[in-house]
Structure formats: C-alpha cells, structure tokens
Structure 1
Amino acid sequence: MLIEFSVGNYKSIKDLETLTMHASNLQAKYPHLEQDNLFLGKDDLRLLKSKAIYGANASGKSNIYKALETFIKIVANSVNREKILRWEIIPFRLNKATQSEPTFFQIQFLKDDITYRYGFVADSESIHSEWLFKKVERETLLFTRVEEEFEYNKTQFAEGGIISEILKESNENKTLTSYLLLTFIAKVMKGKISNELVDFITKNFVLVSGLDSERNKKNAEDFIENEENKKILVDLVKAADMGISDVDYIDFNEDKKNEKLNKKDEKEIYVFAVKQSFNEDNKKSGIEIMSMSGEESKGTQKMFELAPYIINCMNNGGVLFIDEFDSRFHSLLTKKIVELFNSESNKKGQLVFITHDTNLLSSELLRRDQISFASRDKFGASHFYSLAEFKGVRSSKSYENDYIHGKFGAIPSLNDFEELFLEDNG
C-alpha cells in the first residue's frame, strides 16, 4: 500500500511536494467514513483507501501522476535503458536556479507489514544519491549511496556487499552512476530483497490515463481471454447500467495458434457487446451484437477498459492511480466507483484519482483528508495541499459550493470571454 510519495524539481513542481495517504486525526462526522474509508495497520497506522485530486487546468495536478510514473519507469529500466534519465528527468524550467539542479523522488509503502522508504536524487546524466530504509518497530538503514560513496547494512542487506566490491574497481564507477543500485542489484546481481522491492514497485502501482484508450483497450482484451475474468468484468459493466447483457470477443487468429505469426498479427480480436433486441410490439425478439469500438458509446468503452484495473486492484491489492478519471463518465458512475473503494468489501486496494467532478466533494462520501488540491503560484510552480489543512470547514455539509466559490483555491481565474468578441464602438 502507498503511504506517501514525494517529488521536487520536476516539471511544474519546483519545491518538495508530497502526496500522502496518511489519515489525519480529524474525526469525520459520519461513522461510516471512519470505518469504511480507512485501512487500519499496526502501530496505529491509518491509511486512506482513496484520494481525490482537484485543480484548475494547467495547475500541475497531472504532474504528480507523471512524477510517480517517471519514478516507476526509472526503477524498472535504469539498467536496460541507457538514456532513461535523459528522457525522463525534466526539472522545473521557470526558474534559473532549478534548471541545472537534480530531481528528488521518494516513496514510502507498506509491504508484508513492513514500511519501506526508498528514494533517489538524479539529473539527466546520473544518480547523485539513493537510499533505502525499512521499518518494523524502528526505521533501519538498508543502504545509502551518495555519489560514489556506498554504505549498507551487513546484517539486513547482505546483498549490498556485491556493490561494495564492484565500487572498489574505479573503472566501474562511471557506469554505476547512471544506474539505480536497487535496480542493478535486483536485475543484474539477482539480490533477493532488491528484486522483491523492484517487483513490488513496478507491479503494485498501476497508473492509468482515462484518455489512453489504445493501451487500456489492449489490456482489457488480454483480460477477458480468461473466462473467470470475463465474467466479473461483464458483471461490473452491467452494474454500471450500460444496457449490455454480455461482452465477448472473437479471435480471428484462433485457428492459426500453431503457426508462426508475424508480430503485428499475433492477436486480432473483435470485442463486442451483446444487447437485447425487440420486435415492433416491443417484445423481446433476440439479441444484437454491437462492436465495442465501433458502435458503443465512449463511456461504455471507457468502462470496459477501466474495469480490469478496478477488478485487479480490488482482488489483488495495490494502488490504482487514474488521471482524467471522470472523463466520459456520468458523475453517478464515478461516485459509484469511489464508493466501491471506500467500502467494507475493499480489503487491500487504494484508488488515487485526478478529477474535475465536483459532485464527489461530499462530506458523506469523502473525508477531508481524502480531498487534495493543486494550485499554481504566480511564479508557475505547482503546490499540493489537503482540505484537512483548512480550519473552520464543517464536515456536515457538501464542500462543493465552497470549492466552486474559491474558498479552497485551486480554481481558474478566468477573464471575460465575451469582451474578446465585442466590437470596439469607441
């Protein structure tokens, strides 16, 4: 589970900003928010099941998503993609002081009742520093690296000894400065702890753009090839009131499975929705097959594409982070999905989402610490803050009206559009 993610000097994020899933000490008015919206861990650890992020266009709210995406990409590929830092590290460019400074990333997460804190500082050319800590009762260093200096815990992180030996060879230093040591130990040296943590970070944090239809479509097609998966997906789509009685597919290359296919022809799937049809007397007369991509609405397509991510997160745990969550969805549907994650049935999945849907700003749906805002200051830098930081906010009413009227910031300052089209009569 995610505890918190911090980033500094990345795109529109100039200063260190943190997305936290820690629950505050504020008491929610409605008891179900204390019971259903939280995961309760050891040592009084209380984590939020979901987090909503609001903000004006160009406020930088999507950059916290992109920062986590970049962090995961570098952890996954710092060894096998030579120029990964050059492609992914983008500092805050609106200030001369930060243009040449490195970027900071740090994540805290819970795995097997152990809290891990891992992070690194990097620019487009090299890793400047890197650290890994674990906490059971108290926090313990596993390894730290500053430039070419490396220190590790010989008792709890013995695999660090491999790196210690390699760093003694001066000709290896320049090579390792462009690698994350965690990834190097995991992928090259096959270190057990490192491999488990890299695997956890790259597989348990799933980032989805609500507008990236092609990627999501392919994932959904792969998902429904399993009959059990297909059944629960159909149930979820039907529960979303899309007017569908079934979803199925035809694999046009089914009879060629034993042949060697060209890579581009490995899978050619036609996904379709099954709907009830009626005769002229409005009596059931059969079914109609409708192309998912060609005949179904964009909302139905998006529900089909997001369903596998929702199902996997609810069943297997992890963090689902969705950008453009409410795009193409009715507000009642987005609310229903949020309610699903904030429910007693959700035992291990977290949902973080970026949205403009103010209907979700309900004190009966979300705790104040589950609502975050992104705003951009006059110098172009993005800042993130929680509704829980505001004093005098009553938890017995909707937060929507106060947000729309600017009480919490994070809304656009719009000029008069009409003046742009008025003739100058003077």
Structure 2
Amino acid sequence: MLIRYSVENFRSIRDRQELSLVASALKDLPNALIRVEDFSQSLLPVVAIYGANASGKTNLLKALRFVCDSVRDSQRLWAPANQIERPPFRMDEFRSRASAFEVDFLVSGSRFRYSFSLNDEEILSESLQAFPQGKSQLWYERENGKFTFGRSLYGENRTIESLTRRNSLFLSAAAQNNHVLLTPIFDWFCEQDFVLGGRSVSPNDRVVSLCKDDSHRDLLLKLLAAADLGVTGYRVEESEWPDEAKKIFDHVKQLLPSAVKMPDKLATLMLVHGAGENEAVFPITEESSGTSALLKIIGPAIKSLEHGSVLCVDELDASLHPLLALHLVKMFNDSETNPKGAQLVFNTHDTNLLDNDVLRRDQVWFTEKDRRGATHLYPLSDFRPRRNENLERGYLQGRFGAIPFLGTAKFHPLGSSEDNE
C-alpha cells in the first residue's frame, strides 16, 4: 500500500512536491478508509487530482511510474554506456540539477521508505529504511558511489554492490541476484499499475489475459452491463501469428533476448452484442473508442482490486463515462468491494466526483503552475471546507484555484463585422 510519495525536478515539477494518502481525522465516509494492523495511520483508497490543462497532473503520475520503471529495469535494461533518460525541469538552472524521488509504502504490513536521486549520468544517492515497531532502521544507503549496509540487511550485499553499475539502482541489481530481503520490495514496485495517456484506446494484452480467466467472468460481465454498451458476453479467439509478425518478434528478440517473449498464439478479444433474440460478435478492433477505452481500464482495475495494488489513471474522464467513473471510484472507496486495500490515484476534470457522498475532503488534491511554469500540488483540506459545502461549485468558482485563467479575450464568429473593421 502506498503511504505517500514525493518528487523533485521532474518534468514540470521543479521544487519538491508530495502526494499523501494518509487519512486525516475527518469523519467523512468512514468506510472509505484502509486500516492496517500494527500501522497507526489510516490510508486512503482513492485520491483525485484536479487542475487546469498542462498544470502537471499527469507528471505527478509519471513520476511514480518513473520510479517503478527504474526499479524494475535499470539493472536489466539500461545500457551501461548510455545516459539516464530522466526529464528534468527545463525552465531554469534546475535542468542541470539532480532529480529526486521518495516513496513511503507498506509491504505485508511492514513500512518502508525508499529514495534515490540521479542526474543524466549516474545514480547519486539511494537508500532504503524499514520501520519495525515504528522505529527507523537503515537497511542500506548509497552516497556518491559509497555504500553503507545496516546489520538487519543480511545477504550478498557486497557482491551485489560490485555488480551494480553507476547508472543502475542497487535495488534493481539485488532483485536480479535473488536477494531474499530485497526481492519483496522490488516486487512491490513492479506490481503497481499505470494507465497513462487517457486518450489511447487500445486494450492491452493484460485485458485479453483477464478475459481468458473464467474466474473473472462474472465481474467483467457485470461491469460491461453497467456500461450499457449492449455487450452481453465475450470470448477470446486464438489463431496463428502472421509470418511477418513472427519475423519482427525474432528480430526484436535478437536485440533484447531477456525482454521479449512471443505468445504461442495470437489472441483476439471478441465481444457479443445482443438485440432481442438476435446476437452478433465483433472483434475489439471494430468496437467504438469508448468501449475500447473502458476495456483498457477494466483489466488493471480488476487486477488492482484483486491484489491490493496501486492503480494510477491519467484522465479518468477521457476513458470512462461519468457514471462509470463514479462506479469505479465507489468500488475502490468501499471496503466491501475493496477488501484488500487497493488504491486508485487519478487525475480528472470531472467535477461530478466533487461530492461529499463520493469523495472525502482529504481525497481531493489540486495542481497549479506558478509564473516560472513549475507545478505546485496542494490538498483541498488546506482550505478547510465545511462538511456539507458544495465542493463542485466552489471549485468552478475558483475558490480553490487550479482552474484555467481565461482572460478577457472576445471570440467572434468568422465573417462577423468585427473581423472586417
């Protein structure tokens, strides 16, 4: 479970910004809380981020994905001689400074804090702390190429240190070498899921795999029925790969032998549409963009609820109808439908969700850019709104900021008299 994370000098984020999923003392929606044994604070299952276009909402999600990708891939896939592909803040001198990330999280009920900083050439610092019984315990620390290991971190630490490149993370190298204590930490980062670029509507392979698993059939059909798309069923048809596709896979496998595995069969998702007694079957490629977008998000959502992982969704309103977005938020926010403490972090422009019966006041955050073009993140709770206050109206009226400034420009129809004066 995610407790909080922070980022500094990444894309539009200049100064350190932190997103917290720690619940406040508010009495709103008491069932919308995650309580973990031996952890004193309750956590939020849902966080919504609002803000004007280009205010940095997506970059906050991309920052967490960058951390997860770096943990998973830096030792295995990053080329030793290449620069690190990190996008810093480019509007001033910060472009040459280090980017820094920190994540506070729970693994099997135990709290950890992981952080690292890097520039274009190397990892500058990296550390992992554990908190048994709430007390900080250093497992390892890396600073300018020098490593310090705590007594609690047993294993082949020095051997793995010698295998860790200057441009890869020790945590990534440790997992590649089956470090007993660090592999569960590595796995936690790999389990988190992201649906970024909300207007891309191609369902991925995970959705097809999910549909092939009959244990999810009832839930999938229930969600498809709730979407009122006319879909009454589905099936997965398998066929041989075209020869051209096999050649492409063989070529890529030669370049990245450990990263590519070609499925034995080409799987195509087919949706069944019913109209009275009639029935028709269509491949997903012939479905509407709305149907495809829904399927793109359903797979990761079910996986997250099933495993208790984090799901980050960019532009939730671009992927789902408002009523479906509302349904999804309520599924994560209800301990009955979310018994394993899955968490949904998303950005949106959908003000229908700004309802005291849908989101707690501490589940709403905003992004805004300053005059330098730097993103600032702040919670709704900073404004201390009343429990029954109309949050949607307050947001649209600009009380909380994070809305576009439209100025006073006037727009006239083409060919109007003003155009010819």
| Bin of the TM-score, shorter chain as denominator length | 0.7 to 0.9
Q: Give the corresponding residue for 1:198.
A: 186
Q: CA deviation at 1:123?
A: 0.6
TM-score (norm 2): 0.88
1:224 aligns with 2:211: yes
1-structure distance, mates of 2:74, 2:306: 30
Distance in 1, matches of 2:112 and 2:279, equals 53
The aligned counterpart of 1:281 is none
Q: Summarize deviations over 1:347-372 as a string: whole Å, max 9, x none.
A: 22111111110000001111111001
In the other structure, the counterpart of 1:335 is 326
Alpha carbons of 1:102 and 1:238: their partners in 2 closer, same or farther (altered >3 Å)? same
Residue number among 234, 249, 254 corresponding to 2:236 in the alignment: 249
Counterpart among 291, 310, 323 of residue 314 in structure 2: 323
**Superposed CA offset, 1:324-380 (max 9, x none):** 111142211111110111112112211111111000000111111100101101110
Is 1:76 aligned to 2:72, yes or no? yes
1:113 aligns with 2:109: yes
- The residue type equivalent to 2:147 in the other structure is F
The 2-side partners of 1:373 and 1:34 are apart by 23
Change (3 A) 1:193 1:212: farther
1:211-232 per-position Cα deviation (integer Å, ceiling 9, x unaligned): 3333x33321222122223443
How much does 1:234 deviate?
2.1
Question: How far apart, CA to CA, are the structure 2 residues paired with 1:285 and 1:35?
Answer: 42
Identity between Structure 1 and Structure 2 (%): 31
Aligned partner of 2:288 among 293, 297, 302: 297
Worse-matched range after superposition: 356-365 or 155-164? 155-164
- 8 Å CA contact 1:154–1:161 kept in 2: the answer is no
CA distance in 2, matches of 1:293, 1:424: 45
Distance 2:39 2:207 in 1: 39
CA distance in 1, matches of 2:277, 2:87: 59
Residue 271 and residue 38 in structure 1: after superposition, are their counterparts in 2 closer, same or farther (change >3 A)?
A: same
Structure 1 residue ranges without an equivalent (≥5): 167-171, 278-283
Instruction: Give, in whole Å, the separation in 2 of the partners of 1:82 and 1:36.
Output: 40
The CA distance in 1 between the partners of 2:27 and 2:293, in whole Å, is: 36
One-letter identity of the residue aligned with 1:120: F
Q: Give the counterpart of 1:314 among 305, 308, 311.
A: 305
Other-structure match for 1:388 = 381
User: What is the rounded CA distance, in whole Å, between the counterparts of 2:154 and 2:403 in structure 1?
Assistant: 47
Deviation at 1:310, TM superposition (A): 1.3
RMSD: 2.4
Contact 2:8 2:100 in 1 (8 A): yes
Q: Secondary structure at the match of 2:323?
A: helix
Instruction: Give the structure 1 partner of residue 83 of structure 2.
Output: 86
Amino acid at match of 2:3: I
**TM-score for both structures, normalised by structure 1:** 0.87
User: Which of 349-358 and 408-417 deviates more?
Assistant: 408-417
- Contact 2:305 2:332 (8 Å CA) reproduced: yes
2:267 corresponds in structure 1 to: 269
Inter-partner Cα distance in structure 2 for 1:288 and 1:425: 55
1:364-379 equivalence runs, <5 A:
364-379=357-372
Instruction: Tell me the distance in 1 between the aligned counterparts of 2:37 and 2:349.
Output: 31
Distance 2:159 2:263 in 1: 43
Q: Is the 8 A contact 2:140 2:153 kept in 1?
A: no
- Among residues 126, 130, 140, which one is paired with 1:130 in the alignment? 126
Report what 1:141 is aligned to.
Answer: 138
1:36 pairs with 2:20: no
User: 1:419: Cα distance to partner?
Assistant: 5.7
What does residue 182 of structure 1 align with? 171
Closer/same/farther in 2, CA of residues 83 and 213 from structure 1, 3 Å limit: farther
Name the residue aligned to 2:354. Answer: 361
Out of 402, 405, 408, the residue aligned to residue 410 of structure 1 is 402
Please tell me the residue identity of whatever aligns with 1:192. Answer: V
Q: What corresponds to 1:280 in structure 2?
A: none
Partners of 1:41 and 1:208 lie apart in 2 by 30
How many positions carry a matched residue from both structures?
A: 398
The CA distance in 1 between the partners of 2:159 and 2:413, in whole Å, is: 66
Alpha-carbon separation, structure 2, partners of 1:198 and 1:342: 27
Contact 2:294/2:319 (CA < 8 Å) preserved in 1? Answer: no
Aligned-partner SS, 2:26:
coil
Question: Counterpart of 2:401 in 1: which secondary structure?
Answer: coil
Per-residue deviation, 1:40 = 4.5
Matched, 1:99 2:95: yes
Show the counterpart of 1:47.
Answer: 43
Q: Per-residue deviation at 1:235?
A: 2.6
Q: Which amino acid aligns with 1:332?
A: L
Secondary structure of residue in 2 paired with 1:59? coil
Partner of residue 58 from structure 1, selected from 35, 38, 54: 54
Secondary structure at the counterpart of residue 407 of structure 1: coil
* Equivalent-residue separation in structure 2 for 1:359 and 1:181 (angstroms): 44
Cα deviation code 1:176-233 (max 9, x no counterpart): 321211111221x321112221122112x1011233333x333212221222234432
> 1:47 and 1:37 mapped to 2: Cα distance?
6
Q: CA–CA distance in 2 between the matches of 1:10 and 1:420?
A: 41
Deviation at 1:270, TM superposition (A): 3.4
Q: What stretches of structure 2 of length at least 5 have no aligned partner?
A: 250-261
* Aligned mates of 1:39, 1:88 — CA distance in 2: 38
SS at match of 1:34: coil
| Structure 1 position 243, deviation (Å) | 1.9
Q: Deviations over 1:376-424 (max 9, x none)?
A: 0111000111101113x11113300110111111100113250696635
Deviates more, 1:350-359 or 1:226-235: 226-235
Q: What's 2:63 paired with?
A: 67
Secondary structure of 2:175's partner? Answer: helix
**Greater mean deviation of Cα atoms: 99-108 or 303-312:** 303-312
CA shift at 1:135, angstroms?
0.7
